[in-house]
Amino acid sequence: MTHTRILRGLSAAAAVVALALPATAAIAEPVDPSTPGRIEVSRADVNASNEKVRQAYGALVQMWTNQFRQIHEVFEAPRIARYERAAMTSCGVIRSDNAEYCAEDNTIYYDEVFVAGMAKAAADQLNTDGDMAAVGIIAHEMGHAVAMQLGHRSRSSYENESTADCLAGAFTLQSQKDGNLEKGDIQEAFYGMSLAGDPTPESTGNPRVDRMIQARIARQSHGTKEQRMQNFRSGLEGGPSACLAELR
């Protein structure tokens, strides 16, 4: 069975830019910018993506269990559940093309076709397997679990999301230290972040409507492409303590 998705909410320029990273985490030269549109993923693509997510989930739980132990806390590992199209959760309905951490039932939900599509988009663009673009989504949601369990929950959407992006970067750093990264993984992770920046809305010509649109974006803000990549980079360079002061 082949699934076709149009990846929504992606930035207009989905280029991976060269950033000043540690020598061991170098990124290749910028790729030709293009915007992923219609992405076709097969059941084999979805199965491969789910297996990568399963492996990453185990590594994420191990990392954050160890980190919490160092500060004399106990990490309550979230469950992980995949779905297609939509899912009813304790936090309400999660629609397609999404992933979300629900603190009410301590579960990470992800649309398996969407996540596989992100990996496929990265693979097509970068000539790699694209898996880290998918893993980065789960690492971000696990970052929400880490932050919330340590009491960090802001009224500012951007503050919550930037912390989760940073913690995803910290996981990538730990994976590098553990020797679990493949060639191209860091580039894939940045590519995934570049796709997920907040869109810049076009003016409707109606000031009242424009204000409503801007207010809605602010409530759900994840940050621009540049901000998301920078927040991820902070964790990649500085580790968990660069994201949350109490972590080491």
Residue span of the structural domain in which 84 resides: 2-13+36-242
In whole angstroms, what is the distance from residue 17 CA to residue 57 CA?
A: 27
In whole angstroms, what is the distance from residue 79 CA to residue 98 CA?
A: 17
pLDDT in tens, 41-53: 999 999 999 999 9
Q: Over pLDDT 90: what percentage of the chain?
A: 68
| Residue 247 belongs to some domain of the structure | no
Which amino acid belongs to residue 38? R
Mean pLDDT (the chain) is 84
| Residue 29 belongs to some domain of the structure | no
The count of structural domains within the chain is 1
Contact status, residue 42 vs residue 1, Cβ threshold 8 Å: yes
In whole angstroms, what is the distance from residue 238 CA to residue 248 CA?
A: 10
94: which DSSP letter?
E
What is the per-residue DSSP string for 124-164? HHHTS--HHHHHHHHHHHHHHHHHHHTT---S-HHHHHHHH
| Residue 80 belongs to some domain of the structure | yes
pLDDT in tens, 125-184: 999 999 999 999 999 999 999 999 999 999 889 899 999 999 999 999 999 999 999 999
Length of the chain: 248
| Residue 21 belongs to some domain of the structure | no
**Which residues 6+ apart lie within 8 Å of 111 measured at CB?**
82, 83, 84, 85, 94, 96, 97, 98, 99
| Residue 26 belongs to some domain of the structure | no
Listed residue (100, 76, 79) closest to 88, CA to CA: 100
pLDDT in tens, 176-197: 999 999 999 999 999 999 887 5
pLDDT in tens, 44-83: 999 999 999 999 999 999 999 999 999 999 999 999 999 9
| Residue 204 belongs to some domain of the structure | yes
Which amino acid belongs to residue 5? R
Give the pLDDT confidence score for residue 141 in this predicted structure: 97
26: which DSSP letter?
-
| Residue 180 belongs to some domain of the structure | yes
pTM, 2 dp: 0.82
| Residue 98 belongs to some domain of the structure | yes
